[in-house]
Amino acid sequence: MDQPTTQRLPTYADVEEAAGRLDGVAHRTPVMTSRTANARTGAELFFKMENLQRTGAFKFRGAYNSIAALDADARARGVVAFSSGNHAQAIAHAGALLGAPTVIVMPTDAPTIKVTATREYGAEVVLYDRFTEDREAIGRRLAAERGLALIPPFDHPDVIAGQGTATKELIEEVGHLDRIYVCLGGGGLTSGACLAAGALAPGCAVYGVEPEAGDDVRRSLEAGRIVQIPVPKTIADGAQTTAPGALTFPLLQANVAGVVTVSDAALVETMRFFAERMKQVVEPTGCLAAAAAFAADDLAGKRVGIVVSGGNVDLARFAALIAG
Ligand SMILES: *Cc1c(COP(=O)(O)O)cnc(C)c1O
């Protein structure tokens, strides 16, 4: 991500401001509990169900907050994002709600269903060849030519602040938590969780959870600098990031209690748990946090928050994974 490192780090005040903008627009998603999960871990688990958020993932929070924060002129010119996943749909939908034109840069081989969904939310889709073209360069060129604001999926102060509102709502609803597990890709959701927990639940330990194959943040924290890894092979397609960002890395470094990893097999097992026990469709990436809690052996007697991040999974793929 080619982000200027001069951008200011967001604080809890920005999370509060984001909450004001999202009030009455984003769903205040339910917090669910499960006796089975409590019995299995010996803890009291509180699941914040962002699979039930607008567009099916927490990304709506950061996308809407970022576009709403633009001044009227910038908003009228519009925004550009590159993504084939949940960020694209979030930007497209938030832009439509706020009257901002949106341009989404997607690979020519993105699933038709995703391209169609993004267009249906009202975005213009610009296709590029993954093997010969650089999407960031295309995004920057479009931004320069048309005066569009480029909104990245995680490394942006307003995106991080927006994502922090999920954990803010969770703590406001259930009270103090000893620990929170958060699904971790580039670190927008986890950085935001750290800001909210730091202000509302002092002493609460926030853990980011990555797929085993995509442990770029864990490696970066160990090395004390941003470490770049090749695109990881994992079913957690929302966490196939190759490095934390210039903003998310320092925030995670200063605030996170640790980063843990889980296997793809554990993600499938957790998808099955959500479907069978809680009647919830959760995408593989959305299972990271819960899978880590289920694997932990030190939760007895603790109050533990789990941020379930999204539910966008093709039904045929969902069926194949849980049947396997
Ligand atoms: C984007 C995404 C993540 C990772 O979020 P980051 O802010 O990049 O860490 C996790 N789960 C889902 C469902 C996502 O769409």
CB-CB contact of 162 with 91 (8 Å):
no
**Given this model, what pLDDT does residue 83 score?**
83
Has residue 201 got a pLDDT over 50? yes
> 63-87 burial by CB neighbour count: b if 16+ within 10 A, else e?
bbbbbbbbeeeebeebbbbbbbbbb
**Annotated catalytic, 172?**
no
Cβ of 189 closer than 6 Å to ligand 1, yes or no, is yes
For residues 6-17, give the mean pLDDT. 93
For residues 159-182, give the mean pLDDT. 98
**Annotated catalytic, 264?**
no
**Annotated catalytic, 34?**
no
**Annotated catalytic, 66?**
no
Sheet of strand 31-32, all strands in order from the earlier edge strand to the far edge: 31-32, 44-49, 303-308, 179-183, 205-211, 258-262
Cβ of 281 closer than 6 Å to ligand 1, yes or no, is no
CATH of domain 60-150: 3.40.50.1100
Q: What are phi and psi of 206, to 5 degrees?
A: -100, 125
Q: Which of 188, 214, 238, 310 is flagged as catalytic? A: 214
Residue nearest to atom 4 of ligand 1 (CA): 185
Task: Map 274-300 to HEC letters.
Answer: HHHHHCCCCCHHHHHHHHHHHHCCCCC
**Annotated catalytic, 216?**
yes
Label the pairing between strands 149-150 and 79-82. parallel
Cα separation of 91 and 96, whole Å?
8
Helix axes 216-223, 248-255, angle to 10 degrees: 70
Cβ of 310 closer than 6 Å to ligand 1, yes or no, is yes
CA of 61 to the centre of ligand 1 (A): 12
Residue nearest to atom 5 of ligand 1 (CA): 185
**Annotated catalytic, 84?**
yes
CB-CB contact of 310 with 166 (8 Å):
no
CA of 15 to the centre of ligand 1 (A): 17
The alpha carbon of 68 is separated from its chain's Cα centroid by a whole number of angstroms, namely: 19
- Fold (CATH) for 12-57+156-323: Rossmann fold (3.40.50)
Residue range 250-305, pLDDT digits in tens: 999 999 999 999 999 999 999 999 999 999 999 999 999 999 999 999 999 999 99
Cα separation of 193 and 214, whole Å?
20
Residue range 139-152, pLDDT digits in tens: 999 999 999 999 99
**Given this model, what pLDDT does residue 1 score?**
42
Q: Which of 14, 17, 48, 59 is flagged as catalytic? A: 59
Ligand 1 atom index nearest CA of 187? 9
Among 49, 309, 10, 320, which residue's Cα sits nearest to residue 156? 10
The full set of domain ranges for the chain reads 12-57+156-323, 60-150
Same CATH fold assignment for domains 12-57+156-323 and 60-150: yes
**Given this model, what pLDDT does residue 6 score?**
65
Has residue 3 got a pLDDT over 60? no
Label the pairing between strands 44-49 and 303-308. parallel
CA of 212 to the centre of ligand 1 (A): 15
Q: Which of 158, 210, 215, 283 is flagged as catalytic? A: 210
For residues 2-18, give the mean pLDDT. 82
Confidence of residue 4 (pLDDT cuts 50, 70, 90): very low
For 45, 163, 200, the CA distances from 174, given in Å and listed in that order, are 10, 18, 11
Which of 9-13, 31-35, 131-135 shows the lowest mean pLDDT across its residues? 131-135
Mutate to test the pocket of ligand 1, among 93, 285, 314 (most ligand atoms within 8 A of CB): 285
Cα separation of 96 and 233, whole Å?
33
The mean pLDDT value of the chain amounts to 95
Cβ of 84 closer than 6 Å to ligand 1, yes or no, is no
Cβ of 155 closer than 6 Å to ligand 1, yes or no, is no
List, as one string, the DSSP characters of 168-183.
HHHHHHH---SEEEEE
- SS3 assignment, position 10: coil
Scanning the chain, the segments in alpha helix (DSSP H) are: 12-22, 35-41, 59-68, 72-77, 86-98, 112-120, 135-146, 157-174, 188-200, 216-223, 248-255, 264-278, 288-295, 315-323
CA of 235 to the centre of ligand 1 (A): 13
CA of 227 to the centre of ligand 1 (A): 19
Cβ of 214 closer than 6 Å to ligand 1, yes or no, is no
